[in-house]
Amino acid sequence: MTVVIQLLVLLPLLGFAVTLLIPQKQEKLIARNTVLFIILHFLTLCVLGFFWVKNGFEVINLKEITLFKSVGYEFYIDFYFDEASFVYLFLGAFICFLISQYSRYYMHREEGYKRFFSTFLFFYSGLTIVVSAGNLETLFIGWEILGISSFLLIAFYRNRYLPVKNAVKVFSVYRIGDVGIILAMWLSHHLWHENISFIKLNNYEIVHEHLAQHSWIGVGISLLLLLSAMAKSAIFPFSSWLPRAMEGPTPSSAVFYGSLSVHIGAFLLLRTYHFWEHQVSMRVVVIIFGLLTAILATLSARVQSNIKSQIAYSSLAQIGLIFIEIALGLEILALVHIAGNAFLRTYQLLISPSTVTYKIREQFFHFQPREKTIEDSWPKRLEYTLYILSLKEWNLDNMQYKYLWNPAKQLGSKLSFLSKPFFIGLAVLIFLSGLVLHFFEDKVPVNVIRNIPLLFAAIGLLFVLKSFTERKNVFLSWWLIVFNHCWIALAVSYNEHFGFTHHIWYLGGVLVAGFFGFWILMRLKKKERKVSLDQFYGYSYEYKRYNIAFLLAGLVLAGFPISPTFIGEDLVFSHIHEDQFLLAFCVSLSLIIDGLALIRIYSRVFLGPFIKTYDGIVKRNA
């Protein structure tokens, strides 16, 4: 059984790795490799499914390996399978198999054929990890993979403006979801004093016992998980990203935003259902958001005049209903609903170009001038108002800017002094004195020590805000991020138990990636002279290797689960005390903005319309 589970998780990753090794020109080999690994994965899944059925649908749990262990902290990989996992796994395997087969021909001769299939497999790996994860930490690994592969797929046409812009937009929303999980991990660590596995979460007595003492933590965890689920499933108020994610080739839109990716939020709720099912308030909140989404998305779907947005919103309306079903405890119904919705929308998206032929023909033979709709019977004022609101997608897109990104930018622009040498010197000085102070901790009054972490984390936050809003200097922006990690490390080191090894885990990757990324930027600057954040440069058009290398460096720096920094991040959080809410907030906000700033640097330098126009000018709205 252990081997089967290991295979199940590793096969897609292995497939991904093999794809990377195949030369770009070998279209057939790339596609065959993808299909082969998905089939192998499917067969493994069938074996596991067989055991599961044979054992009377008993939940399967496997504690895999411990990646890091120290006093009071253990980071381990854990797998867990129940009916929700199996529905998602089978659904994923089936749809991904079909879509990979589909794309094999569809993507022929497309620039980035290999990139498509490798990202596809990477996504598939992430999906597998999420749905078979046995604890939040494992789930988070998959969760991050989903995020970054979504970014890459939306920005598949990386030398056009809109795909890149929308990919960044979607990534930003995902990032909010990520922080929901990070904070939920932080809180649950303090609730259970261990990295709790889902199998324990399902144990009513344990949960009940802990929650009885810390009911607010329970509510907090639930709400944070809900936040993540909402971001990932485009639930109100995050809905507007979904139609904008339809920038990649149609099959990838179909498989990710029509079906698999967008239902992952629902999965998170299903997975943690036993944790929050006794919290009436949480269930009410889920129902409210589900209902709101269902209604608003339906209205938006009704006014969409382009086919992909229409399908996106009608899919979303069903996801709203799915959330309600989950909150009502109708798990099986929800699972059937998820499968049905996934199939229906995938197929609808795939045949969407045929709509022209079909509908024009239908119109030719059955035309009625202006068909009456239900809205025609409403009072005009209501009809018109709702129409405009639906057309404007309830201003959700603008609101994100208005309340989230613009304030951050405004704040950042007030921080321009940070780039002055004086302040940089001052910051270094404070940092060094912070280090020195650390050794004489005993001599400092406790009150002061208590607040020092917050102070340092706040400075770090300012740094990263500045980095995020820096308009020109890419090097400054880059180093500020690296520096931010150092501030966080310093801040946390004032909390007990965060020792030297912890620092290595956390900062090791950061520093290596920091210097590596800097080196690439320098090389690029030497060759092209113009490397800045003031516009999109699109250097991936010519510098394909730099592009990949820099992306990797950025991912490490963002705490992506390919380097020890990822575990370090979790470590950091486990050392923030449950009463240091502000500190947790500062650090998590830093991490969100960190990721955003990195993606911003990467996009501006390597993605978007290429500044050299010898192959033609690419219009921004093309």
For another protein, the binding residues in 458-477 under the rule CB under 8 A are none
Nearer to another protein, 64 or 375 (CB): 375
Q: Is-contact 570 137, C-beta < 8 A? A: yes
**Segment interacting with another protein (CB under 8 A) among 98-106, 171-179, 190-198, 585-593:** 98-106
Nearer to another protein, 298 or 532 (CB): 298
**Residues of this chain, 593-612, that bind another protein according to CB under 8 A:** 612
- Backbone φ, ψ for residue 135 (5° rounding): -145, 170
Nearer to another protein, 242 or 576 (CB): 242
Q: Is-contact 261 253, C-beta < 8 A? A: no
Nearer to another protein, 311 or 601 (CB): 311
| Tokens describing residue 135 | 């604890």
Using the rule CB under 8 A, which residue among 55, 363, 413, 416 binds another protein? 363
Q: Does 41 bind another protein (CB under 8 A)?
A: no
Q: Does 190 bind another protein (CB under 8 A)?
A: no
Nearest approach in angstroms of CB 82 to another protein is 21
**CB burial readout 70-91, b (16+ within 10 A) else e:** eeebebbbbbbbbebbbbbbeb
CA–CA gap between residue 209 and residue 211 (Å, rounded): 6
- Backbone φ, ψ for residue 160 (5° rounding): -115, 155
Nearest approach in angstroms of CB 115 to another protein is 13
State the helix-helix crossing angle for 264-271 and 331-350, rounded to 10 degrees. 170
Nearer to another protein, 105 or 439 (CB): 105
Using the rule CB under 8 A, which residue among 57, 358, 403, 519 binds another protein? 358
**Residues of this chain, 226-245, that bind another protein according to CB under 8 A:** 243-244
**Residues of this chain, 138-157, that bind another protein according to CB under 8 A:** 156-157
Nearer to another protein, 363 or 433 (CB): 363
Single-letter amino acid, residue 135: N
Q: For 166-226, give the DSSP string.
A: HHHHHHHHHHHHHHHHHHHHHHHHHHHSS--BHHHHT-HHHHHHHHHH-HHHHHHHHHHHH
**Segment interacting with another protein (CB under 8 A) among 10-18, 353-361, 415-423, 581-589:** 353-361
**Segment interacting with another protein (CB under 8 A) among 36-44, 79-87, 132-140, 298-306:** 298-306
Nearer to another protein, 351 or 429 (CB): 351
Nearer to another protein, 430 or 618 (CB): 618
> Where do the H-state alpha helices sit in 76-135?
83-106, 113-132
Question: Which CA distances in Å does 552 have to 147, 148, 585, 590?
Answer: 14, 11, 27, 20
Q: Does 581 bind another protein (CB under 8 A)?
A: no
Q: Does 102 bind another protein (CB under 8 A)?
A: yes
**Residues of this chain, 365-384, that bind another protein according to CB under 8 A:** 365-367, 369-371, 373, 375, 380-381, 383-384
CA–CA gap between residue 499 and residue 218 (Å, rounded): 29
Binding-site string for another protein from residue 252 to residue 281, where x marks contact by CB under 8 A and - marks none = -x----------------------------
Q: Does 53 bind another protein (CB under 8 A)?
A: no
Nearest approach in angstroms of CB 155 to another protein is 11
| Tokens describing residue 335 | 């699972």
Nearest approach in angstroms of CB 291 to another protein is 10
Nearest approach in angstroms of CB 368 to another protein is 9
**Segment interacting with another protein (CB under 8 A) among 208-216, 294-302, 437-445, 549-557:** 294-302
> Where do the H-state alpha helices sit in 367-403?
380-391, 396-400
| Tokens describing residue 330 | 């109708």
Q: Is-contact 259 343, C-beta < 8 A? A: yes
Residue 446's contacts (CB-CB under 8 Å, 6 or more residues apart) are none
Nearest approach in angstroms of CB 597 to another protein is 20
CA–CA gap between residue 552 and residue 520 (Å, rounded): 11
Q: For 550-563, give the DSSP string.
A: HHHHHHHHTT-TTS
DSSP code at position 135: B
Nearest approach in angstroms of CB 259 to another protein is 10
Size of interface with another protein, in residues (CB under 8 A): 103
| Tokens describing residue 191 | 């609730």
DSSP code at position 58: P
Cβ burial of 357 (10 Å; 0-12, 13-18, 19+) is: exposed
Nearer to another protein, 321 or 599 (CB): 321
**Residues of this chain, 384-403, that bind another protein according to CB under 8 A:** 384-385, 387-392
Q: Does 311 bind another protein (CB under 8 A)?
A: yes
Binding-site string for another protein from residue 21 to residue 40, where x marks contact by CB under 8 A and - marks none = ------x-------------
Nearest approach in angstroms of CB 378 to another protein is 10
**Segment interacting with another protein (CB under 8 A) among 63-71, 358-366, 426-434, 536-544:** 358-366
Nearer to another protein, 350 or 489 (CB): 350
Nearest approach in angstroms of CB 473 to another protein is 17
Q: Is-contact 93 42, C-beta < 8 A? A: yes
Q: Does 409 bind another protein (CB under 8 A)?
A: no
CA–CA gap between residue 467 and residue 461 (Å, rounded): 10
CA–CA gap between residue 290 and residue 283 (Å, rounded): 10
Using the rule CB under 8 A, which residue among 119, 304, 477, 574 binds another protein? 304
Using the rule CB under 8 A, which residue among 121, 133, 350, 482 binds another protein? 350
Cα dihedral 532, 533, 537, 543, rounded to 10, equals: 60
Question: Which CA distances in Å does 373 have to 298, 378, 393, 541?
Answer: 14, 10, 20, 48
Nearest approach in angstroms of CB 306 to another protein is 5
DSSP code at position 73: E
**Residues of this chain, 330-349, that bind another protein according to CB under 8 A:** 336-337, 339-341, 343-344, 346-348
Single-letter amino acid, residue 578: E
